[in-house]
Amino acid sequence: MTRRTTPVVLALALAVAVPQIVRAQEQGNPGEGESDWQISVGAGVITGPLYLGDDAYAASAVPNVRVTYKDLFFASLGEGVGYNLIKSGGWRVGPVAKYDFGREEDGDQPLRIAGGRTNDLVGLGDVDGTVELGGFVEYSVGNVSGKLELRQGIGGHEGLVGNLELRYSKPFRLGRSAVFVSFGPQMAFADSNYMSTYFDVNAAQSAASGLTPFDAEGGLLSYGLGGAVMYPVTRDLSVTWFAGYDRLAGDAAGSSLVQQRGSADQFAGGLFLTYTFGM
């Protein structure tokens, strides 16, 4: 099958990191608000499971890029590409496109700087990358925001996936600087196509991998907490620490892959150094 070079740990950790970083930056990044185009570039070190449901972790050095235009268009690795068709009265509604990086059978992580590779997936085959198209609805009041996002996979897992989150974001004074904090609960759900792609073990895969056959149905995928703290080092440069915990649920947690070789407890964390400028 086609080999890919994007590490799974990058996709898993950015799913936690980027939403938290964005909320912190939108609360008051000193470099924002001076031009129509805002670009944030940076890099970080993140730690996360080698695949969704694994109990082994790897640390990777990864890039982070985010582009926005007039508070309407946005694009980043974690948020995907989207547009705020409605942004009024606390509401934010629009389309979004994301990319699911899939999963590699060989368990390798090309950007890994610490941690090993896994043989847990041998015999299960690769999961191809998937373009996910959908939309989001978000409502904010004061320091609290809630967001629902639904996306349909095209190619790859071909499933319907969704995320629901609640966030509290607030700046705090630390000496002469403002530290921006964002945290809250989150949950994910998916239909049977998605769950089967990542958590099924059919007869052939069972014979090749040694795992017990398992047929996963749709439902709740995970629930947990995530948070981030952003500290502005200079007017345009910031450091963000993030951490998140998710508990796999339903058939994701019950899959023989998770039960026999992994864990339902999923952690991610790390830090990013980001430089923001306008054009």
pLDDT top residue among 17 and 121 = 121
Does the structure show a pLDDT above 80 at 112? no
Residue type for 236, please? D
pLDDT digits (tens, 9 = 90+) for 21-35: 555 555 544 444 468
Does the structure show a pLDDT above 90 at 106? no
Instruction: Say how far apart CA 135 and CA 51 lie, in whole Å.
Output: 26
Length of the chain in terms of residues written: 279
Q: Which of 54-63, 162-171, 203-212, 258-267 has the lowest mean pLDDT?
A: 54-63
Decide if domain 8-278 falls under CATH 2.40.230. Answer: yes
Q: Provide the residue ranges of all domains of the chain, joining segments of one domain with +.
A: 8-278
- Supply the Cα-derived Rg of the chain in whole angstroms: 19
Global pTM reads 0.88
Q: Which helix (H) or strand (E) holds 230?
A: strand 219-232
**DSSP string of 56-70, one letter each residue:** -EEEEEEEEEEEEET
Rounded-to-10 torsion of CA 215, 203, 106, 226:
10
pLDDT digits (tens, 9 = 90+) for 76-101: 887 899 999 999 999 999 999 999 98
